[in-house]
């Protein structure tokens, strides 16, 4: 196989609730120092970018995100998301680490 295989996940948003989440790399893998991780949310058909949030913390074992409820309010159920990772070494490819859909409660 050529390329990476993304992890499939789901983000469940609850009206009025902030999103605080950490994704960890699989056992045996590490994120090198200087790695950046960013969450993008898109419309269901990827025609519109609905939000971009850099991780608040990246360490060797994963990345943490915190997004306030007000920023998430316009994100509809069925939206798509991608978590991109960029390693510090050249050529710095932007790789999809995690992908999935958004669901909503409340």
1/56 Cα distance (integer angstroms): 32
- Token couple for 105: 């409660």
Q: What is the dihedral of CA 25, 43, 75, 80, to 10 degrees?
A: -20
Asked if 60 and 24 touch (Cβ cutoff 8 Å), the reply is: no
Residue 53 has pLDDT above 70, yes or no: yes
Task: State the average pLDDT for the chain.
Answer: 95
Ranges of beta strands (E only) in the chain are 7-14, 19-24, 36-42, 49-54, 57-59, 62-67, 80-86, 94-105
45/37 Cα distance (integer angstroms): 23
**pLDDT tens sequence across 3-36:** 789 999 999 999 999 999 999 999 999 999 999 9
pLDDT confidence bin for 91, thresholds 50/70/90: confident
Residue 93 has pLDDT above 90, yes or no: no
75/92 Cα distance (integer angstroms): 29
* Structural domains for the chain: 7-105 (2.60.40.10)
The answer for residues whose C-beta is within 8 angstroms of residue 22's C-beta and 6 or more apart is 62, 63, 64, 65
């Amino acid at each position: 196989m050529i390329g990476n295989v993304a992890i499939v996940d789901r983000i469940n948003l609850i009206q009025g609730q902030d999103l605080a989440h950490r994704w960890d790399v699989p056992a045996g893998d590490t994120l090198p120092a200087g790695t950046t991780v960013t969450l993008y949310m898109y419309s269901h058909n990827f025609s519109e970018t609905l939000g971009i949030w850099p991780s608040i913390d990246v360490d060797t074992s994963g990345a943490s995100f915190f997004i306030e409820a007000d920023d998430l309010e316009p994100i509809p159920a069925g939206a798509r998301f991608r978590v991109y990772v960029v390693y510090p070494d050249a050529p710095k490819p932007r790789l999809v680490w995690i992908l999935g859909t958004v669901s909503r409660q409340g």
